[in-house]
Structure 1
């Protein structure tokens, strides 16, 4: 089948749980500490969940974490989670196929970061964002067979 049956199912479950936890940590940091004028918060408000988010935000102090954790780490965690999930779902595929299926998203994130540096798209270039995108990507590329 896709090669996934060759692996210990408990190891696979554990890896999926870790990938999900990385995703949730990134989302939680974003929800609790990022400015509420972002598009995501408008969507949350339209869905009726904004009162819950506001209640949770009352219990946290955004000044207790460095900017890196609030502004760069979530995207790095999301990329790491995505790469881990793609690693798991493409087991049994050739290395070339795995790269072709997986690399477009992180490469796009890196390109957009450089476009911000050049003023070609909206946003602020941040070297820490670039680091957070690149480290999981290098790990993924070195890990797949």
Structure 2
């Protein structure tokens, strides 16, 4: 259980954030927030160390992987909260965020949502959703009973 929180939740959350901090454009709003709390100098030093490799990192790593990691983090935390058991009572809460992310990407593909569809985003959302179940789930019990009149 400690490994699940440390690696599955906190580790993937921080890794996704670190990719943003080190490699994403400094025009993102989060960099204004860091500046307002006095972290700009430290973060710029880290970005300077990372800058020589940014041109060698594939786009999917920079732009799609963080979101997949954050979905993995969310699912890991939700599974931890429900003691790694999935049921009718908790499946909605476990799947709400990845469902919204996947639906948004498909909505972009179909033109219902503004933005640019990216297959790498969709793939990493799906992997971020499925892998925590494979790694951490003890039981899945989704028995849906039909009610008779």
- Taking the aligned partners of 2:73 and 2:84, their CA distance within structure 1 comes to 19
What corresponds to 2:3 in structure 1? 14
Q: In the alignment, what sits opposite 2:17?
A: 27
For residues 103-142 of structure 1, what are the structure 2 equivalents within 5 Å? 103-140=95-132
Report the secondary structure of 1:107's partner residue.
Answer: helix
Gaps of 5+ in 1: 1-11
State the Cα deviation string for residues 62-105 of structure 1 (Å, max 9, x = none): 11211111111111111101111111111276511221111111
What's the secondary structure of 1:42's corresponding residue? Answer: helix
Find the aligned partners of 2:20 and 2:64 in 1 and give their Cα distance.
Answer: 10
Cα distance in 2 between the residues matched to 1:141 and 1:97: 16
Q: After the TM superposition, which residues 53-132 of structure 1 pair with which residues of structure 2 at under 5 Å, given as runs?
A: 53-60=43-50, 61-91=53-83, 95-132=87-124
Q: Corresponding residue for 2:27?
A: 37
Greater C-alpha Rg: 2
**Aligned pairs, number:** 134
Q: 1:140 to 1:16 in 2, by over 3 A?
A: closer
User: TM-score, normalising length from structure 2?
Assistant: 0.79
* In structure 2, C-alpha distance between the alignment counterparts of 1:35 and 1:107, rounded to whole Å: 27
CA spacing shift, 1:122–1:51, aligned 2, 3 Å: farther
TM-score (norm 1): 0.81
